[in-house]
Amino acid sequence: MPTIHLKQTTTATPEQFVAGLTDFGPGRSELFGLSTDEQLKVHHKGATEADVTEGSSAIWERLHYDWSDPDRVVLTTTDSNTWGGASGHTYTFTRRPDGTTEVNVVVVREGKNAKGRLVGLVIGIVGKRVLGRQLSRTVKAIEARHGK
């Protein structure tokens, strides 16, 4: 079961980053390149939690988002064509004295079938590099939204 740890510094505040993570409107794919707007379906959204299906036609997952802690967003996989078990993402935000924010991301991938186990194996090998690039793009897109 691959577990990928990523870290990135951003000029966005934790609040701005959470706003980007929890914006389930059109253009989400601009922030999250592995998630197509066509696959996005919001089943429920509350003040600090949401139930959302996203991804692509090849790999999709239904996630429970919890942002009740302003310094942490937890995405728990509740259904997927690929991922099961303990799969999900956790974003933790730390304000730094220089005004920037450190974003720590933990991605856990547990394959629930042969496809998931195979993709999980590949993620275990190249995931840090690929997901690190995706996080960098997300950070830049969120910063651009806020003129940073």
Q: How confident is the model at residue 134 (pLDDT cuts 50, 70, 90)?
A: very high
Query: What CATH number did the domain enclosing 62 receive?
Result: 3.30.530.20
User: What domain count does the chain have?
Assistant: 1
Cα 25 to Cα 148: distance, rounded to the nearest angstrom? 21
pLDDT at 148 over 80: no
- Burial (0-12, 13-18, 19+ Cβ within 10 Å), 128: middle
43-94 pLDDT per residue, tens: 999 999 999 999 998 999 999 999 999 999 999 999 999 999 899 999 999 9
Q: What is the reported pLDDT for 33?
A: 85
The reported pTM is: 0.94
Q: What is the reported pLDDT for 92?
A: 98
Q: How confident is the model at residue 146 (pLDDT cuts 50, 70, 90)?
A: confident
- 38, 37, 88, 36: which is closest to 62 by C-alpha? 88
84-133 pLDDT per residue, tens: 989 999 999 999 999 999 999 999 999 999 999 999 999 888 989 999 99
Residue 3 neighbours by CB under 8 Å, 6+ apart: 106, 107, 108, 109
Domain region containing 68 = 3-145
Q: Which 8-state DSSP code applies to residue 126?
A: H
